[in-house]
Every structure is written in structure tokens, then in C-alpha cells.
């Protein structure tokens, strides 16, 4: 079974699972796909759309959502063979492949974080961050943080880790500190940035801006649906049906404001905040041919390997072949 790249790009892959639970189920004979997600992650929005609209059943599969408390737990479950699909980034997939695993990835979302400042803040460019207190989520090896550091060093000869006060922390806490004025700027995940944007903040620079400045020719998916080559090779129709169901959900979320209103309790937003989250999500739907994304990811991998070293990428200095699912190139 094959579907066009256009159909795949229309949805790029997973962002959904409903904390409210799923009521519809596919026919008992339909192959089940176990998808591991964080309990309150944005992937739940797309999974909820798949289940509510029965896109899985329409494609002859039954998506079963399995909740986890943290990303490390989903990764361990995936490597142990307890799940069929998770959402992770291509850097992790490449490292696993380089170390002998057969994981591969189908693009899910190009939405990435950004450094956010208050609308009236006197911070207008990277040099204005010198001497400021910056909150950073994801830790010192966060890809967005590394890319922005790399751009600051190349274009402004600024080492933000030395010339600014960096505070690492959990996304909700850092957003709260930014709102209260305890931080001058904050680099957060895209959906936290969107909520800040709806409440008096503006984007100073996004990780996508840094990625393009450092060599990418267009948007690169930060995350993707991750699964084993062996599973996909043994169940090619099932794997592609999942991609198709995801694409249909993406298309609906791209076109229907009413669907976002239905999702409001899952998204936990309303009014202006829901609108900004909707718009930023739509901007993050992958639309480029897979070969272009793969090429740009390979370029960024080398940049990140230089910036993050072995702690980030392991021993491999280049992205592992097969990191992006080859079946999507046809």
C-alpha cells in the first residue's frame, strides 16, 4: 500500500492523544498499533483527532494510546519492544541507529521553540541578551539552545553561556518566571511559546531561524513518529495506514477551526490562546519532500555534533543512513 508524498505532507505525523480517553475503537480484527505518548503532550491533540474522527478505523487499523509520565520512559519502552510507535527527534533516532538499533522516523512537526521576551522589553536582537537572565528548558544539550548559541557565536562572537545568566528548568516554571519578570527572556518549547505569545510576549529568535541561518534550506521536522524498521518491514500496510490516518488528522486540523474548538478541553486553552496554538501548530505541519528534510537534517546534525559533542550525538559525527523512513521517499 502506498500513498502520495503530498498526502503524507498534509499531516506529517503525530501530535495527539486525549487525556479524556478514547471511546471509538476499530473492529476487533483490525491490527492494533500501540503509540506511547506523554500524558499531556501536544501529540494528544492529533491522536484525539484520529480517534474521534475514526481515521484509524477508516484505514483498517486500531490506534491504542499508551500514556507515560516522561520521555525517557517512552524511549525505554520503545527499545524494549513494548510499543510500536513513539514521538521523538531525529537526533535520538540517528544515535540509536549508530549504536545498532533499527529505529527510523517519519516527520511529524517542524514546530520548534523560540526565545520569548515581553512586548515592551528593550531586547531586540541577540546582542541584547548579553548580561540578561535567560531561562532555558530542555537542559544544556537542548537542540534549540545549541543552535541559537551557535548562531550567536558565529554572527556576533557572543558566548551566551558565559555572557548571560542561564537558568535551566521545567517549561511551566520558566514560563511563570518569565511572566513574573524574574527572567529577562525564556527559551521554551513551541506550545509554551505560543501561550506566552497570546499573553503579551513576542518572539526574539526561533530555533528555526537559527537552523536556516546555519545551513537548512527550509523547515526541518523537530520531531517524528519513530518505529522499528523490522516492524515496518513486517507490517508495511499497517505502518503506512498509520501515516495516512495521521495525515488525515493533520489535514482536518489545518482546515477546520471547528475541530480546534472541539479540542479546546484537550488543549486546555480558549480564546486568543487557543487561536495562537492552532496557528503555530498549523505552521508546523511538514510540507516538504522527505529528501529535502533529510538533507537539511544531515547538515544540522554536523552543526549540532560540533556544538554538543559526544554527549549529544555519541561517537558518530554524521547522521546515520536510514534515520528518515525510506518508504516515504517513493
Rounded to an integer, what distance in angstroms lies between the CA atom of residue 69 and that of residue 67?
Answer: 7
pTM of the model: 0.89
pLDDT for 29: 86
Strands 165-168 and 32-38: unpaired
Question: In this structure, what DSSP letter does residue 320 have?
Answer: P
pLDDT for 279: 98
**Where residue 248 falls among pLDDT bands split at 50, 70, 90?**
very high
Q: For the chain, what is the mean pLDDT?
A: 92
Q: Is the pLDDT of residue 22 over 80?
A: no
255 three-state secondary structure: helix
Of 17-21, 176-180, 213-217, the range with the lowest mean pLDDT is 17-21
Cell of 189: 518549547
Q: Is the pLDDT of residue 6 over 90?
A: no
pLDDT for 18: 35
The pLDDT tens digits for 37-86 are 998 899 999 999 999 999 999 999 999 999 999 999 999 999 999 999 99
Rounded to an integer, what distance in angstroms lies between the CA atom of residue 77 and that of residue 9?
Answer: 28
Contact 108, 221 (CB under 8 A): yes
The pLDDT tens digits for 151-162 are 999 999 999 999
pLDDT for 329: 87
168 three-state secondary structure: strand
Q: Is the pLDDT of residue 225 over 60?
A: yes
Q: Is the pLDDT of residue 254 over 60?
A: yes
pLDDT for 28: 58
Cell of 61: 487499523
Amino acid at each position: 500500500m502506498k500513498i502520495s508524498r503530498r498526502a503524507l505532507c498534509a499531516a506529517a505525523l503525530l501530535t495527539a492523544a486525549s487525556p479524556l480517553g478514547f471511546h471509538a475503537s476499530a473492529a476487533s480484527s483490525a491490527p492494533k498499533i500501540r503509540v506511547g505518548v506523554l500524558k499531556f503532550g501536544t501529540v494528544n491533540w492529533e491522536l484525539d483527532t484520529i480517534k474521534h474522527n475514526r481515521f484509524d478505523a477508516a484505514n483498517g487499523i486500531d490506534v491504542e494510546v499508551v500514556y507515560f509520565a516522561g520521555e525517557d520512559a517512552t524511549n525505554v519502552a520503545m527499545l524494549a519492544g513494548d510499543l510500536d510507535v513513539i514521538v521523538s527527534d531525529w537526533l535520538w533516532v540517528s544515535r540509536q541507529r549508530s549504536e545498532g538499533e533499527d529505529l527510523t522516523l517519519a516527520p511529524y512537526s517542524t514546530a520548534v521553540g523560540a526565545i520569548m521576551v515581553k512586548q515592551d522589553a528593550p531586547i531586540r536582537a541577540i546582542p541584547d541578551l548579553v548580561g540578561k537572565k535567560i531561562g532555558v528548558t530542555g537542559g544544556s544539550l537542548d537542540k534549540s539552545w545549541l543552535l541559537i548559541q551557535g548562531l550567536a557565536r558565529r554572527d556576533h562572537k557572543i558566548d551566551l553561556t558565559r555572557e548571560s545568566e542561564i537558568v535551566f528548568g521545567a517549561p511551566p516554571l520558566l514560563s511563570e518566571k518569565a511572566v513574573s519578570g524574574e527572567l529577562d527572556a525564556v527559551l521554551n518549547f513551541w506550545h509554551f511559546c505560543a501561550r506566552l505569545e497570546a499573553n503579551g510576549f513576542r518572539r526574539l529568535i526561533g530555533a528555526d531561524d537559527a537552523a536556516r541561518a546555519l545551513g537548512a534550506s527550509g523547515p526541518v521536522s523537530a520531531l517524528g513518529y519513530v518505529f522499528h524498521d523490522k516492524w515496518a518491514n513486517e507490517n508495511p500496510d499497517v505502518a503506512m495506514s498509520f501515516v495516512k490516518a495521521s495525515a488525515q488528522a493533520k489535514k482536518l486540523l489545518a482546515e477546520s477551526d471547528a475541530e480546534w474548538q472541539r479540542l479546546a478541553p484537550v488543549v486546555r486553552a480558549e480564546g486568543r490562546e487557543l487561536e495562537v496554538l492552532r496557528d503555530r501548530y498549523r505552521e508546523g505541519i511538514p510540507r516538504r519532500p522527505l529528501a529535502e528534510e533529510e538533507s537539511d537534517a544531515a547538515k544540522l546534525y554536523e552543526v549540532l555534533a560540533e556544538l554538543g559533542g559526544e554527549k549529544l550525538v555519541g561517537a558518530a559525527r554524521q547522521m546515520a543512513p536510514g534515520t528518515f523512513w525510506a518508504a516515504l521517499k517513493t
